[in-house]
Chains A and B, each alone.
Chain A
């Protein structure tokens, strides 16, 4: 840290001038026992729930169990220096983390301290980690889209601002990849992203950071890192800290997206903390409040009402901000009926189900469109997308049904064959390489082309070539078509005719 002697002198001058020998009244307790990151303290009579406790040497803890004669607390940080019998001070402050625009572009730990070696973060505001969720009156239905840039999601499982959409799948099915692509697609838009890594390998988080930096996405992103090597208490705290950072933007009329990677590891961290605090275990040894743990976390994601700032001027500013949540849950062997997955499925407004078989057969992102749903996002799609996506969803459903029935059939009638042909091409359109999010107008072009038989005569292996060249053709020759969709949000009249003409013109020149 650079120290400027002139600054120190000016601070000292202020201190000397304003020196007043005030006494400080503190609430204190005695450390009875400490181990595995959990401490028991006697005394601390006026301790509040979630109060920060000072263990000295810059180590803090959070009070979680308030009993008649002792306080149970989790220690955040290195507790090896703590000694039995030492004094623990109550700070009178509820656990909070620094928030604000200064956090953007930084990697921080679960208590908001920078861990990226880029120096201190100067913020003036801090938010409690256990914030209050907006009430019914302060909310409004989700109606604006979060464009992920992933065709299969934006078209069939749309996500709206303020929605909680679960991303669920086995290991190595591309769950994190979807989130990273979503972050990359926000470049130049007004959505601030927060990526919370819970119990992940440090190398995984580092590679996510590297990808974001490479694509210039760290400018609008905060990474909250609580890797597997950190204590369970910090892993438990990290999603709450990330949410608090998102709430800052939500409350100021801005839009934020928070990604929890992943909530199964979060539940495991909370199980560890709860068992160490001697709370009774329930199913799979998870504590009884593991459902409440995730619901109170995810309830804080919301789309604020236009008049929320009038109802609660102390908290909200004008602009009806939003906080969108993309929790990830890893499952084993495709079992979505396990305890934590069913909990989070029931809390969220839909889920994107990623399948190992699809992933291995080359369908990436491996989204299973049949099992994935978005309960509120449909109303958040732009009209243009809604118009073409309806056909896509219908044709894909018919294709899946036919594909299952005709697996062993040898001779098929022409209509069935045509549907299968189109379905196979639609699957090709929905395949998308990583780190290449697609703008919404281009998604509309391709879905329109696929669902309206323009690709039926293109060999499956050449669909991606068609897509690449056609989209380049549209950007070059018909930029006004895409602009019209973006400007009006609609896809009708002249715009449709223009696209039809463009498709006809391109098909003449395209050689498979």
Chain B
């Protein structure tokens, strides 16, 4: 199944969960299903094998995966089995948590710095980014000596580049153009 289809299933599940005020429980349910599949290699093999009939997969799910999970998660897994879309379960879970984070105002980003930041600088930077974006920032901080100086922040497919490397590169381009 394509990524687009996984996004649509995740979107529908998230909307239902929001209506029933059960986003947290559904999220836990999805994680429980994932954990169960990861723990039992045989079950995972049967669950994702295209040649195994749907009835057998449903029986497996009822016995090993769906005990104690939120009813919406149980219904989703059965629907995926019926529609032969169980292969997209991993992408669907990822998309669901992305939607959940967006709804909660969480923003994941990567910060690359030329030199390691101390704790105080880290806290100040995260606080500044949170106030600038109006969201709860969850940073992944990476040391990247290639930058020479300054820092580079990547949010999704947007990059804010304040590094010395970039400044030198643009100076090089201007010099080439001028000479």
Contacts and interface: CB of A to CB of B under 8 A. Distances in A.
Interface of A: 1, 3-4, 7-8, 11-12, 15, 21, 23-29, 43-46, 68-69, 89
Given A4-B179, A7-B179, A11-B179, A28 B174 contact: no
The 8 closest A-B CB pairs, nearest first, are A43-B157, A23-B162, A45-B157, A11-B178, A26-B159, A24-B161, A28-B159, A69-B3
B130 interface: no
B159 A68 contact: no
Contacts of A8: 175, 179
Nearest to A24: B161
A21 B170 CA distance: 12
A8 B179 CA distance: 7
A3 B158 CA distance: 36
A438 to B, nearest CB: 46
A45 B156 contact: yes
B159 A15 contact: no
B174 A11 contact: yes
B121 interface: no
B3 A26 contact: no
Interface in B140-167: 150, 154, 156-162, 166-167
Contacts of A45: 156-158
Contacts of A26: 158-161
Contacts of A46: 157-158
A472 to B, nearest CB: 54
Nearest to A2: B179
B4 interface: yes
Interface of B: 3-4, 150, 154, 156-162, 166-167, 170-171, 174-175, 178-179
Contacts of B3: 68-69
28 contacts: A3-B179, A7-B179, A11-B174, A11-B175, A11-B178, A11-B179, A12-B175, A24-B160, A24-B162, A24-B170, A25-B158, A25-B160, A25-B161, A26-B158, A26-B159, A27-B159, A28-B154, A28-B158, A28-B159, A29-B157, A43-B156, A43-B157, A45-B156, A45-B158, A46-B157, A46-B158, A69-B3, A69-B4
Contacts of A24: 160-162, 166, 170
A68 B175 contact: no
Contact of A23 (B4, B160, B179): B160
Nearest to B175: A11
Contacts of A21: 150, 162, 167
Contacts of B161: 23-26
A87 to B, nearest CB: 8
Contacts of B154: 28
A1 B179 CA distance: 9
A221 to B, nearest CB: 26
Interface centre among B3, B166, B167 (most CB of A within 10 A): B167
Contacts of B158: 25-28, 45-46
Contacts of A69: 3-4
Residue of B150, B174, B178 with most partner-chain A CB within 10 A: B178
B157 A15 contact: no
Contacts of B167: 21
A25 B157 contact: no
Given A4-B179, A28-B159, 10 more contacts: A3-B179, A7-B178, A21-B162, A23-B160, A24-B160, A25-B159, A26-B159, A43-B157, A46-B158, A68-B3
Contacts of B174: 11, 15
Contacts of B175: 8, 11-12
A263 to B, nearest CB: 35
A442 to B, nearest CB: 49
Best-buried of B157, B161, B174 by chain A (most CB within 10 Å):
B157
Contact of B4 (A15, A27, A44, A68): A68
A24 B3 CA distance: 31
B92 to A, nearest CB: 14
A46 B156 CA distance: 11
B26 to A, nearest CB: 24
